[in-house]
Amino acid sequence: MFGSPDPAKRIFSNTEVAMTDSTPDGELGVERSCFVISPIGSRLAPIGTPARASYEQNIQVWERVIEPACAHFGLTPLRSDKISEPGEITEQIFTLLRDSDVVIADLTDGNANVMYELGLRHTRDKITVQIGEYQRLPFDVNTIRTLQFTRTEAGFIDVRESLIESLRAALAGRSTPVTATRVWTEGAVITSAEISEVAARSSSPDDDAGHDEPGFIDILAEGEESVTSFGERLDEITSRIADIANVIDESTAAIHESDQRQGGFAGRLTVARQTNENLKPPAEELQKLAIEFRKDVSTADAALNYMLDRMTEDTDERAEGAEFLQVLADLGVVVAESESSTAEFAQHARGLANISRVLKDSSRTMTTAMNDILWGMGTMKAWAERARRLLDDGRA
């Protein structure tokens, strides 16, 4: 529990500040509080798990976008996982959502906690700015302005500048509340009778009779096409990893040459800076491929599990789909053969940040990409295992 009647102000030492258009950017956020809600994940989760991927992606957005944008205005943003006040964490979050001058919400993947917290925040007539990764936003918030970004160097720069513009307008008092906030704080109260009348007018029987569902062969054809595209995507990813490995090998040789010339640690730092520049293009390309790979696997996951469910329940469909089940099982073998080396590469990519801070950005980019790739591989292995069991049952 907070020990103050106004906990957000105690945490941030917050006071009301009158701002005008002539106020310098660096003063707009002084003595104002800023709370950030986003998918948190887990730093301790195994590499390749959704929790670890969420953590790495969140840190990347925090370091590249949110923190520098806030610093531009003298704001000190606070993440929910960094609250150091003792007490019940949920109560602290509720209080900060209620009282913070600014809330920045990362809506990537429509995290349930984030969406709930955003809904609570929309009951307050205070500054709320939404950001989210392109094509990974919940469809039902698209009507509310959300700063979208792609997970590339240029994408992070663009959304950081957009966030600065949005914060500048909001801190200077030039923003308007979203519809939900306006209705909640200003809207006229309607009666129960009026609600009942609207409900009566809007009710209608479900009409699914004319729904044109695809046949099982159509579903199999779509699944087969998806699996083929995964193999091609993995080949592209393997090629980019090889490019990165070549850069690292060249860096190792350059460090050896520097040591031979007695260049010392200054010489090694020069090599590290050049290595970071050489790593950026293949690392960013790897991240693009990883994002597309994760998106494709996520899209196919529900469809493929639906197919496998049908084949589990219907032996005739299982027999008809035996060839496809074998394709899935074979894909699992290919994935399993490369999974350990992929995980090892992910560990090496993460370790680059420990060599020199100049390698931190490239390390983060590659680590985030590898988490997406390993998550996708794990999902594909799960399909293959289910397919193998169905094949074995059919042979029994």
Q: Are residues 295 and 250 in the same domain?
A: yes
What's the total number of domains in the chain? 2
Q: With contact defined as beta carbons under 8 Å apart, do 111 and 172 qualify?
A: no
Q: Which of 102, 113, 105 is nearest to 133 (CA)?
A: 105
251 & 389 share domain: yes
Does pTM top 0.75 for this prediction?
A: no
Question: What 3-state DSSP class applies to 77?
Answer: strand
Tokens of 279: 């790593």
Q: Cα(85)–Cα(130) distance, rounded to whole angstroms?
A: 26
Write out the two tokens for 12: 């941030």
Domain limits for position 51: 7-185
CA–CA dist 183, 168 (Å, integer)? 25
Please check whether residue 352 lies inside any domain of the structure.
yes
Q: What is the pLDDT of residue 73?
A: 95
Query: Using CA atoms, how far apart are residues 135 and 253, in angstroms rounded to an integer?
Result: 41
Distance CA 394, CA 396 (A): 6
Question: pLDDT digit of tens for each residue in the chain (396 aa)?
Answer: 344 444 444 444 444 444 555 678 888 988 899 999 998 888 888 877 888 888 888 999 999 999 999 999 999 999 987 774 544 568 889 999 999 999 999 999 888 889 999 999 999 999 999 999 988 888 767 667 899 998 888 899 999 999 999 999 999 888 777 777 877 777 667 777 777 777 776 665 554 444 555 666 666 666 666 676 777 888 899 899 999 999 999 998 999 998 888 889 899 899 999 999 999 999 999 999 998 888 888 878 878 888 899 889 888 888 888 888 998 898 888 888 888 888 888 888 888 888 888 898 899 899 999 988 998 899 999 999 999 999 988 764
Domain boundary among 169, 185, 201: 185
Residue 305 belongs to a domain with what CATH number?
1.20.1050
On whether both 11 and 96 belong to a single domain, the answer is yes
Q: Are 102 and 231 in a shared domain?
A: no
* 48: enclosing H helix or E strand: none
Domain boundary residue among 185, 208, 229? 185
If asked whether residues 158 and 220 sit together in one domain, one would say no
Is residue 240 included in any domain, yes or no? Answer: yes
Within-domain flag for 138: yes
Same domain, 41 and 168: yes
User: Are 105 and 38 in contact, with CB atoms under 8 Å apart?
Assistant: yes
Can you give the CATH number for the domain in which 46 is found?
3.40.50.450
What's the pLDDT score for residue 89?
Answer: 60
Domain match, 295 and 352 both: yes
